[in-house]
Amino acid sequence: MNSSYNKLVQNLEYLKLKQMMIHLDETIDFMTNNQLSFTDTLIKLTDYEIDMKEVNMVKSMVKVGAFPHLKEIKDFDFDFQPSINKQQILDFTTLRFLEQKENIVFLGTSGVGKTHLATSIGIAAAKKRTSTYFIKCNDLIMNLKKAKLENRLETRLKHYAKYKLLIIDEIGYLPIDAEDAKLFFQLIDLRYEQKSTILTTNASFRTWGDIFQDTKIANAILDRVLHHATVVNIIGDSYRLKDHFDKDNMSELALTKTVKFFRSYGLKCEKKLVEEWLNATSTTKDSSHQVGDDDLYEFNDWCRMKGTAYEEGIDDQTKIARLLEEVNRLKSEIAVLKKEKEQLEDRLGVTPF
Ligand SMILES: Nc1ncnc2c1ncn2[C@@H]1O[C@H](COP(=O)(O)OP(=O)(O)OP(=O)(O)O)[C@@H](O)[C@H]1O
Ligand SMILES: [Mg+2]
């Protein structure tokens, strides 16, 4: 038994069936405890190998997809972008549109989530082992142009035409000259009604004539893209600027609230000084913070310490410089006091002992 067990391990190793090797002992135990048949035991053991192959296959499909990041639908905050119909996007991730050879166009200004959504759908497709590829429009055109120069345009076009899902990101960000527009048209034409394409753009279709620098070609492209397509027009704020807006709004609100409170206590505080204090303590205060008496004391202390060696948040170098300043100030104060004392002693005729 022992020697045949060892032989089996060797065989699995030789055949590079790592998962079967890892799970061999537990499968033998399971078989013995549950009186599993030989066939069922083999099924159980080979399933481990198949599961791992599936996982690796999905991983490599996603890798081959050349996505700019691995953000998925679960990472998308639909509340932030209410103009988007969540159900519609979720429906795209079921990949029904691929079966109908339909296209999707994400249209909207910068930062509204076009690339994120296109990538999410692409990843969903790659995970279901659909051949998917992500490319920026400019790179795509550069590659086609290069292929044309090298006399291999047809092969390159066929290469891009074969993907079941092609994502072309950022149409209209850079101008495309009329010759290059023709190359782009050829690809769109090859994919028309054969394969699905997702496009993202920040340029309204009206302006595509300018982008492709040829109205006829632009119209021919648009005609084919939009014939069987869903256009998702995203109207909203940029997610990239979200934090900046929030921060600005919050600090403005907190500032107004705090100044009002301090003044209600008769404190003649400058708005600028309060702003500086709020910024210095920004980690603990935001718009939801309720201003109270403690803040008044804290602000007073902060004002007292401001400019001294005991001001919060200063670096060691500044602290040393300020301590030296303080020492010098105290030294000259001592000198003045000494002088005053001597003058008084002189006047009184007191002899120092
Ligand atoms: N609603 C959202 N929820 C979560 N993250 C978002 C959302 N919208 C955008 N993002 C994130 O914000 C960043 C910008 O989004 P994205 O790249 O998709 O914008 P875009 O519309 O393609 O902009 P551009 O036109 O400039 O390319 C990304 O990191 C993206 O993951
Ligand atoms: Mg983008």
Q: What is the pLDDT of residue 244?
A: 67
143 near 152, Cβ under 8 Å? no
pLDDT at 350 over 80: no
| Ligand 1 atom closest to 200 (CA) | 22
Main-chain dihedrals φ then ψ at residue 133, nearest 5 degrees: -145, 135
Select the more confidently predicted residue: 252 or 204: 204
At 35, the pLDDT band (50, 70, 90 cuts) reads very high
Ligand nearest to the CA of 201: 1
Our measurement of the distance from residue 289's CA atom to the centroid of its chain's CA atoms, rounded to an integer in Å, reads 28
Q: Distance between CA atoms of 121 and 71, rounded to whole angstroms?
A: 10
Percent of the chain with pLDDT over 70: 95
Separation of alpha carbons 157 and 4, rounded Å: 55
Is there a contact between 84 and 234 (Cβ–Cβ < 8 Å)? yes
Residues 6+ away with beta carbon under 8 Å from 69: 119
SS3 16: coil
Residue-range domain boundaries for the chain: 2-64, 73-234, 244-305, 307-353
pLDDT tops 80 at residue 352: no
CA 115–ligand 1 middle distance (angstroms): 6
Closest CA to 269 of 283, 285, 255, 249: 255
Asked if the model's pLDDT at residue 1 lies above 60, the reply is: no
pLDDT on residue 288: 63
- From the CA of 184, how far away is ligand 1's center (Å)? 25
The ligand 1 site (C-beta within 6 Å) comprises 71, 75-77, 80-81, 108, 110-116, 170, 200, 202, 239-240
Report whether pLDDT(166) > 80: yes
Beta bridge partners of 104: 198, 230
The number of the ligand nearest the C-alpha atom of 82 reads 1
In the structure, what pLDDT confidence band is assigned to residue 298 with cuts at 50, 70 and 90?
Answer: confident
Mean pLDDT computed over 198-222 = 95
CA distance 67 to 122: 8
pLDDT band at 181 (very low <50, low <70, confident <90, very high): very high
Protein residue closest via CA to atom 31 of ligand 1: 116
Q: Looking at the DSSP assignment, which residues form a beta bridge with residue 107?
A: 201, 233
For residue 105, which phi and psi values (nearest 5 degrees)?
-120, 120
Tokens of 207: 């302006």
Q: How confident is the model at residue 37 (pLDDT cuts 50, 70, 90)?
A: very high
- Return the minimum-mean-pLDDT range out of 66-80, 239-253, 308-322, 329-343: 239-253
Compute the distance between CA of residue 83 and CA of residue 235 in angstroms, rounded to an integer. Answer: 6
Q: What is the pLDDT of residue 274?
A: 87
CA of 76 to the centre of ligand 2 (A): 14
Residue nearest to atom 27 of ligand 1 (CA): 110
Query: Rounded to two decimals, what is the model's pTM?
Result: 0.67
295 alpha-carbon distance from chain centroid = 36
The closest alpha carbon to 100, from 193, 163, 167, 162, belongs to 193
- Which pLDDT does position 208 carry in this prediction? 95
Start-to-end CA span in the chain (Å) = 107
Q: How far is the CA of 71 from the centre of ligand 1 (A)?
A: 10
Cα 109 to middle of ligand 1, angstroms: 10
Of 196, 130, 137, 212, nearest in space to 171 by CA: 137
Report the topology of domain 73-234. Rossmann fold (3.40.50)
In this prediction, residue 143 has a pLDDT band, given cuts at 50, 70 and 90, of very high
CB 114 within 8 A of CB 234: yes
pLDDT at 148: 97
The two tokens of residue 111 are 């930062």
Q: What is the mean pLDDT of residues 60-72?
A: 91
Which of 30-39, 146-155, 219-228, 321-330 is predicted with the least confidence, judged by mean pLDDT?
Answer: 321-330
Report, as an integer, the average pLDDT of 208-213: 94
Q: Are 295 and 261 in contact (CB under 8 A)?
A: yes
The predicted model gives 326-353 an average pLDDT of 86
Lowest-confidence segment of 26-40, 48-62, 152-166, 190-204 by average pLDDT? 48-62
For residues 53-77, average pLDDT: 90
pLDDT at 210: 93
More confident residue, 353 or 58: 58
Residue 52 or 278, more confident: 52
Average pLDDT over residues 214-220: 95
